[in-house]
Amino acid sequence: MNSEPHITVATGGGRRGEPESRGPRGIQSVEVGGQLLKALVRSGTALPLRDLARAAGMAPAKAHPYLVSFGKIGLIEQDPVSGHYGLGPLALQLGLIGLQQVDPVRLTVAELPALARAMGCTVSAAVWGSVGPVIVHVEHGPTPVHVAMRHGTPASLRHTGTGKIFAAFAPAAAVAEALAREGEASALQDAAFAAELNAIRSERLSRVRDELLPGISAMAVPVFDGFGRLALAIAAIAPSALLDLRPGSAQAITLQTCAERLSQRLGAVGAA
């Protein structure tokens, strides 16, 4: 009798559970059981067996043996009172170690060359520095932009796409201090600026047209870490005629998709 585990080829291109013709071989039962773990991550809370199985696309009777095995190694634990299933201590340890090993800037810098080509313009990444947003990498696009933008350049919270992302998502106290240093202490009391920040939080997209320099526009998006905190901002900058700032434009979607992909890799729940 054949005692080997059932093997399927997993490339990510076919429907779940179907063998593929190319790519590395994987153990199908592990992939199927992994749907339960993914369902728990998506839910963000412990679930009863019936709801968890439904979220993973399987029958409760099929899901239960997987949960028993996951429980034995600590990936899953069952609440003794409610009977609901949640992530176990091993899952939490793996998550914390993964977050410690991931460098947001390194991941982002690796994405920027392809992003610049796809956007057709210059792109940059910025983090929160000692006094506010600071650009840490610039990837030049096919169209030159005559703007002094290089590693270490600060970004205005009030007047740049990058800065407005931080104004919208960074801790309020830090933002207030940085605005004061820029001579914009009253900005947070400005109704128009407050409304703009609310729109940025809703759309996860900031847009600047001809604000600092005539004929130059920019858009920026946030990248979040596994704790839901703003990790960095990615921006695109180009001559105004070459940058479509409309929400839902091809360029906006390209930029947002890149940020969502990076947020997902950093462990942000609900990204991409």
CA–CA gap between residue 219 and residue 248 (Å, rounded)? 12
Q: Is the distance from CB of 122 to CB of 139 less than 8 angstroms?
A: yes
CA–CA gap between residue 111 and residue 105 (Å, rounded)? 10
Give me the mean pLDDT over the 16-27 stretch.
Answer: 60
Res. 208: pLDDT tops 70:
yes
Res. 6: pLDDT tops 60:
no
Per the document, the length of the chain is: 272
CATH 1.10.10.10 fits 7-99, yes or no: yes
**9 falls in which pLDDT band (50, 70, 90)?**
very low
- Helix (H) or strand (E) segment spanning residue 123: strand 122-128
CATH number belonging to the domain at 102-265, selected among 3.30.450.40, 3.30.1490.20, 3.10.180.10, 2.40.10.120: 3.30.450.40
Q: Which residue has the higher pLDDT, 186 or 102?
A: 186
Question: What would the two tokens of residue 125 be?
Answer: 């990444």
122 bridge partner residues? 237
Give me the mean pLDDT over the 51-69 stretch.
Answer: 93
Residues of the chain with CATH 1.10.10.10: 7-99
Res. 43: pLDDT tops 60:
yes
Residues of the chain with CATH 3.30.450.40: 102-265
Selection from 127, 182, 133 nearest residue 154 by Cα: 133
Question: What would the two tokens of residue 239 be?
Answer: 């001559």
Res. 64: pLDDT tops 70:
yes
* Secondary structure (DSSP) of 203-262: HT-EEEESSSSTTEEEEEEEEE-TTS-EEEEEEEEEEGGG---STTSHHHHHHHHHHHHH
CA–CA gap between residue 223 and residue 108 (Å, rounded)? 9
pTM (two decimals): 0.66
Give me the mean pLDDT over the 178-195 stretch.
Answer: 88
How far from each other are the two terminal CA atoms of the chain, in whole angstroms?
Answer: 44
Q: Which residue has the higher pLDDT, 98 or 174?
A: 174
